[in-house]
Structure 1
């Protein structure tokens, strides 16, 4: 995998899931990203590495497989960079690499929603890493929005894409204000809130959805959303996680409640 720094181990690595239990819980674990259950045993092995917290091995495995394995590689790299990686340059490079791989995947599988979603996610996190205002100046906002629009055109019930569109509106409005955000980038408070509401309707018991919507409400509505956002974080913190990614989000929600 590209990058100067070794991958920081995830605190939640462990053989929590086996192939049969992974597939039995696939609907819950992938309700957010709408990824279909894998049929290839080799791909199932790769997703087991991901869900059991060995993100580096999962990413390497997905790259070796190619094809649908690129979705696994991109998700593993993005989750690790966002919630585990300790070195900022490595995090930024990992997001850029994932975005580049997603663009390659789009060329060979243009109707795969997650080829578009992981490009948007990676560029969105990269934008947060370098600052949203710098990212907008570089034209990344348009790329992110285009990729998210394509995701939802292919998969209208992609809950995580609705979250990401909500965050697109929230981040821009938070950084440049609603007037400039709307005139220049098409960011609107009502649209952001509507996409967050759709994500909650599609995936209401997910720690990921609950935590991301809580943050988005705070950006869009400030103090007026404090009680409602706190209630969502409390629900996220109370989720019993099934895999390493859910554990990371539950940890994040609990830390946010303590701050």
Structure 2
């Protein structure tokens, strides 16, 4: 089955072919095929329950944690099948960072929140190296200036927007290649949301970023490509400007113009 996509300019980072997801007898995701380019942002949009978060969670095999869930088809990152039996899922989840809808810092200090991943993955040989990784990650997440004098304070004591940027710093700290964001701004106020969007814009040159969002305005602001899901099917995918101004499928048109959703 050919992907519902026009050719992407660069080699794709993530390639999905005929991906199906079943929760018991429920067929939640149907024959999804798409190429996701590197160094940019792809947005998944669509009404609630359409399969966009389900597909996102296939990319770091988070659906493995659900006993009744079964995934078929193929997903490759850099041409390597991430569902192959000899693939180390722990290593995969280091390469594919995840930022959730609700900020979820560990009940540890700001420093330890960011240091945790590099430490357990053995990414640093000394305390000085770990210190550098923590500072670099906080800086990349646009947070270092706000917290550099209180790195020993608990991460849970920060504002919601700061907590979400801390979670992004935590994801960056293990040197991922792909960052998945599942509605990362839905629990945040407009000012915090603007900061996260600025951060996504800065990070896109170094990472493949995939964001699930209910906000079409957000998708239009932050992404270069958009995929529209409906009833478990990927209806169409293409450059964000085209999806929003000249969609090929009537279902996309109806969703974007507010006829359903």
TM-score (norm 1): 0.29
Identify which of structures 1 and 2 has the higher relative contact order when contacts are C-alpha pairs closer than 8 Å and 6+ apart: 2
TM-score (norm 2): 0.29
Report which of the two structures shows the higher radius of gyration computed on alpha carbons: 2
